[in-house]
């Protein structure tokens, strides 16, 4: 696809297809991606700006967004996953600007309303305030409890000043082998928050110049505490990763990289153009 109009048509048309995005496309409004779509950028410099990519009301969605440059959208989410399962966000570069007010943009990758089985891997996310919200409100436990199982691995969060991620209710959310840098805009900056009895395993991540690595037992803002188990993380010039309680076992097998290799691996391999 080399025009936004073609991209919207193909993404919203029912049926299985791979959509190759060639160049930077600029649009507006929301693109409602239908099930069984792979959206992949061509080369290192393709992607989309000005529009929300919405993945909603599908189980399974079977949607992949890969190798794209994606810009934050003023007033809205860049990628919104809502009441959807089986989504993979991989090897993208997502950015906005932190010079604007924190509410100028909304989320970069928000996962809400009972979504499940979501993987966010090998992305670069930089210069953004409200990065990735898992569970949209303190009052939505009835829909979210038992869901919101999300894995974040090998992402580079650079100057993302909150919500990387902020989780309500989800269990188990697995955050491992990510690199966090310069999350220190002000006294409220933080990387990860487990709230409203969410269960997070935060494992073998690298935190450099992060004001607060994790919140859990203290809660955050108006949200009640969550549970968080931390193991094998590296913190340099960073506030602590607060822990609290225990979390449910993961439903999959995996091998985490040694934390000493994570920064080099992520900075070399994450983002668009690195497949």
Query: Over pLDDT 90: what percentage of the chain?
Result: 97
- The model scores a pTM over 0.85: yes
Cite the active site residues.
163
Q: For residue 181, what pLDDT is reported?
A: 98
Q: For residue 100, what pLDDT is reported?
A: 81
What stretch of H or E contains 264? Answer: helix 259-269
Residue pLDDT, tens place only, 18-33:
999 999 999 999 999 9
Residue corresponding to tokens 């599908």: 58
CATH topology of domain 4-269: Pectate Lyase C-like (2.160.20)
Domain ranges of the chain: 4-269
SS3 content of the chain, % helix, strand, coil (to 5): 10, 45, 45
Put residue 99 in one of left, alpha, beta given phi > 0 → left and psi -120 to 50 → alpha.
Answer: alpha
């Amino acid at each position: 696809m080399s025009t936004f109009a073609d991209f919207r048509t193909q993404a919203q048309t029912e049926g299985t297809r791979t959509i190759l995005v060639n160049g930077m496309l600029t649009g507006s409004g929301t693109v409602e991606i239908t099930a069984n779509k792979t959206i992949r950028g061509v080369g290192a410099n393709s992607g989309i700006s000005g529009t929300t990519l919405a993945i909603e009301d599908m189980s399974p969605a079977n949607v992949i967004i890969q190798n794209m440059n994606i810009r934050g959208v003023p007033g809205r989410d860049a990628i919104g996953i809502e009441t959807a399962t089986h989504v993979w966000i991989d090897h993208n570069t997502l950015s906005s600007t932190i010079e604007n007010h924190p509410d100028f943009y909304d989320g970069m990758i928000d996962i809400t309303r009972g979504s499940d089985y979501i993987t966010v891997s090998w992305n670069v996310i930089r210069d953004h305030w409200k990065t990735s919200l898992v569970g949209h409100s303190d009052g939505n436990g009835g829909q979210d409890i038992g869901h919101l199982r999300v894995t974040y691995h090998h992402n580079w969060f650079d100057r993302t000043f909150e919500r990387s991620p902020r989780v309500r209710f989800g269990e188990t959310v697995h955050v491992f082998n990510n690199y966090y840098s310069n999350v220190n805009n002000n006294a409220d900056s933080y990387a990860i928050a487990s709230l409203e009895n969410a269960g997070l395993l935060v494992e073998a991540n690298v935190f450099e110049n992060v004001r607060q690595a994790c919140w859990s037992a203290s809660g955050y803002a108006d949200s009640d505490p969550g549970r968080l188990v931390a193991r094998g993380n590296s913190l340099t010039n960073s506030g602590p990763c607060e822990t609290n309680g225990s979390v449910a076992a993961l439903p999959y097998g995996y091998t985490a990289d040694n934390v000493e290799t994570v920064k080099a691996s992520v900075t070399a391999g994450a983002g668009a153009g690195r497949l």
